[in-house]
Structure 1
Amino acid sequence: MLLRRMLIMLGVVALVVLALAAYKGFSIYQQVQKFSVPPPAISVDAERAVEQPWQSRLPAIGSLKAFQGVDLTVEVGGTVRDVLFRSGEQVTQNQPLIQMDNDVERANLATAEAALGLARVEFERGRSLVNRQSISKSEFDRLSAELQQANASVAQLNALLAKKRILAPFAGTIGIRQVDVGDYLSSGTIIATLQDVSKLYVDFFLPEQAVPKLAVDERIRLSVAAYPGEQFEGAIVAINPKVEDATRNVQVRAILENQDARLLPGMFANLEVLLPGETQHVVVPETAITYTLYGNSVYVIEEKQGEDQQPIKDDKGQPQLVVERRFVETGERRDGLVVVLKGLKAGEQVVTAGQLKLDNGAHVAIAEDSASANSQPDVE
């Protein structure tokens, strides 16, 4: 009886062990089946590399300056008698701006003119007398010197009177006046600013490596914060013949027309020097480039091939796509595009979004929006 019970117990234990082994084996089988199924394709955006004309440009930042601009000042002291301009108006060359009190100078001029008249009369009388040898030659020379001195005094007072009347040195826009009638102005006092803004200079700096590429009359294109989205064009008029010791940069000056006086001196400008000539370059969207310490790279999308060098297709009959990480040499970047100098050919398809999920050889699928955009014909 005891033996029979032991055999039954051993049989039950064996059945339990077999059941557990079968369950474990089935679980392992499921795990193996799960890992043997290929992972789903990673959805990415993609665009094709294209070859197009590319004009090289030199970016810089600069400051706008008036074609002519001065702060108007007085040379001699005096009291303002009349202000002959309105703030912000357009003035012409030699237009009177300020009249200072000149009564004392006029009185002095009248005295000097009277002395000049007397000196002229005495000189004429002396000339007739010296011809008759009635006076000595030295006396006649003294009369001649007095006449010259009287002429110089009148010219000096006329010049002083002219400085009491401030004229515009050139045509332009005058700024906000800084003086009023009755103000006493000492020498050097600023009246207002005068700016000729019909044309503007833009001064900027470029590194010394750019000097061989620069030339007078090369075109520039600039933009300012006051008019977002608008661009203004000008031309280089001068290149400084000296490189700055501290920065190793060279100063460049360009000029541009300022229609309607929209641009003002002192504005900050972002600009580009448009270098002559265009060359064909392969370009891709800037988002396609992965920048690392080891170099710049792109993920190129290719069809997966089998051992017979034929494309492997999925269950929908479409070729399976994989990515290859390829290191490239990049050039200029502009307007969301970057030039690829080496490592990529025109027509190759590159990933533009989703690179963080990828590794070399990863299975990918192009997003529908990206695929439809790539299928559209190029528009010239």
Structure 2
Amino acid sequence: MADVKTASPPPSGASAPGGPRKRRLWRPMIIMVGVVLVIVAIIAGVKFMQISAMIAQSKVPLPAAVVTAMHVPFDDWQPRVSAVGSIKAVKGVDVTTEVGGIVRTLGFKPGQEVADQALLVQLNADSDIALLHSLEATADLAVIVLKRDKAQLAVNAVSQAQVDTDTADLKAKLAAAEQQRALVAKKTIRAPFAGRIGITGVNPGQYLNPGDKVATLQTFDPIYIDFTVPQTQLEAIDIGQEVSVTADGLSNQTFTGRISTIDTQFDPTTRNVTVEATVQNPGHSLVPGMFARALVDSGTAQRYLTVPQTSVTYNPYGTTVFIATAKKNDKGEDVLTAQQTFIKTGPTRGDQVAIVSGVKEGDLLITSGQMKLKNGSPVQINNSAAPLNDPAPTPQEH
């Protein structure tokens, strides 16, 4: 059998076949990748610097928003009950006639102030007066007959029964005369009280039936205002409290009075009670039937931080305002910026609202223009068109 020769392994210090060649191929590839990465890094750095320079050049500070502002003050608030009502005369009546007749004269002019018991209408009463004179003559005769019969009774010329009959006859005739005298008096219609007479449709020569209206007579000073107050505010109302009254068309006038009566029952539908106040009306400016507003002072005055309602923003997540605060900008200059803060509001009156918490006295509060603001927005204050801040505004016509 032939000897088989086994291949011996290469010496330990020798390299594997192809090793030097592979190393020679990897080295330039690694160098190439490194060069590419360096070039990419250089390009990226240059571009980053260019873009940063462009952003820095294009970054312009936001212009300051023009707003109005005020320093928050404390103000006195008088708790009040506000209501609407109607003006009513203290005394008012439709003057009518109790008996029929033809109008002879009118003793007034529409709109005139008349005194108590002043002549308003004179009806024709000639026939009634003539009948009165006849009845008075009959009564005078009855007096004479009674006097004569009493003298005869003294000498027993007539009986006591005759004298009694004469006495009864005299009383009947006097009563008839008095009845006719009252009828004649009814033909003269007089003012039941002093006041102002209204427009009339009655003219001389016109026949008036019993109950026909002559005119309306009403007093104007003092005058009533009736207004309703809800059940929840009844505790703030008491007899004798002062009432301030204003009316449409009389915007520059405020009338004062006092509560005189509170109704004895509530309306079962609205749960309101009617309150009546007596108001001084020396100029007769308030007229029965007018619509008016009543303000009743109740309780002691309170102090609140008071701001215009335009300064408050009501959001689903809370009620906020913007406060202007001073800070340094990048150049070290003092600028005003807007800072939003949450607040809690209290009662309102007119153009104003009370702030219970969230701001303090003296804070520079932005009152308008806050819709374009956010935290940190620069602001510029210009109060040339500041919003209204009136506790009792009135309609303005321009």
TM interval, shorter chain, is 0.7 to 0.9
Query: Which amino acid is 1:352 matched to?
Result: T
1:115 equivalent in alignment to 2:138: yes
Instruction: Return 59-68 or 337-346, whichever deviates more.
Output: 337-346
The residue aligned with 1:255 is 278
The residue aligned with 1:356 is 371
Q: Report which of the two structures shows the higher radius of gyration computed on alpha carbons.
A: 2
Match among 83, 90, 115 for residue 106 of structure 2: 83
Instruction: For residues 178-225 of structure 1, give each alpha carbon's deviation from its aligned partner in whole angstroms, at most 9, with x where no partner exists.
Output: 211110000111112222223221111121222111122322222222
Aligned partners of 1:286 and 1:333 also within 8 Å: no
Aligned partners of 2:259 and 2:277 also within 8 Å: yes
Unaligned runs of 5+ in 2: 1-35, 387-398
Query: Which amino acid is 2:240 matched to?
Result: D
Rate the CA distance shift 1:145–1:343 in 2: closer, same or farther, 3 A: farther
1:143 equivalent in alignment to 2:158: no
Aligned partners of 1:218 and 1:276 also within 8 Å: no
Aligned partners of 1:130 and 1:137 also within 8 Å: yes
Aligned partners of 1:301 and 1:349 also within 8 Å: yes
The residue aligned with 1:277 is 300
The residue aligned with 2:347 is 331
Give 3-state SS (helix, strand or coil) of 2:219's partner.
Answer: strand
1:340 equivalent in alignment to 2:363: no
Tell me the distance in 1 between the aligned counterparts of 2:383 and 2:105: 72
Rate the CA distance shift 1:81–1:94 in 2: closer, same or farther, 3 A: same
The residue aligned with 1:185 is 208
**Structure 2 counterparts to residues 163-312 of structure 1, below 5 A:** 163-292=186-315, 295-302=318-325
Give 3-state SS (helix, strand or coil) of 2:238's partner.
Answer: coil
The residue aligned with 2:382 is 369
Tell me the distance in 2 between the aligned counterparts of 1:328 and 1:50: 16
Give 3-state SS (helix, strand or coil) of 2:377's partner.
Answer: strand
Give 3-state SS (helix, strand or coil) of 1:118's partner.
Answer: helix
Aligned partners of 2:66 and 2:381 also within 8 Å: no
Tell me the distance in 1 between the aligned counterparts of 2:358 and 2:317: 15
Instruction: For residues 311-349 of structure 1, give each alpha carbon's deviation from its aligned partner in whole angstroms, at most 9, with x where no partner exists.
Output: 665424326634233041321323x21122344432333
The residue aligned with 1:317 is 333
Tell me the distance in 2 between the aligned counterparts of 1:244 and 1:123: 66
1:74 CA drift (Å): 0.6
1:55 CA drift (Å): 1.1
Rate the CA distance shift 1:113–1:32 in 2: closer, same or farther, 3 A: same
Rate the CA distance shift 1:369–1:121 in 2: closer, same or farther, 3 A: same
Rate the CA distance shift 1:223–1:293 in 2: closer, same or farther, 3 A: farther
TM-score normalized by structure 1?
0.78
Rate the CA distance shift 1:337–1:160 in 2: closer, same or farther, 3 A: same
Rate the CA distance shift 1:221–1:35 in 2: closer, same or farther, 3 A: farther
Instruction: Return 288-297 or 177-186, whichever deviates more.
Output: 288-297
Query: Which amino acid is 1:365 matched to?
Result: P
Rate the CA distance shift 1:127–1:30 in 2: closer, same or farther, 3 A: farther
Instruction: Return 280-289 or 258-267, whichever deviates more.
Output: 258-267
Rate the CA distance shift 1:101–1:122 in 2: closer, same or farther, 3 A: same
Aligned partners of 1:330 and 1:342 also within 8 Å: no
Tell me the distance in 1 between the aligned counterparts of 2:318 and 2:263: 37
Tell me the distance in 1 between the aligned counterparts of 2:141 and 2:177: 13
Query: Which amino acid is 1:45 matched to?
Result: T
1:289 CA drift (Å): 1.7
Give 3-state SS (helix, strand or coil) of 1:352's partner.
Answer: strand
Unaligned runs of 5+ in 1: 1-13, 304-310, 374-380
Report the count of equivalent residues.
Answer: 348
Aligned partners of 1:298 and 1:328 also within 8 Å: no
Query: Which amino acid is 2:72 matched to?
Result: A
Tell me the distance in 2 between the aligned counterparts of 1:59 and 1:225: 15
Aligned partners of 1:42 and 1:363 also within 8 Å: no
Q: In percent, how many aligned pairs have the same letter?
A: 32
Aligned partners of 1:102 and 1:161 also within 8 Å: yes
Aligned partners of 1:296 and 1:330 also within 8 Å: no
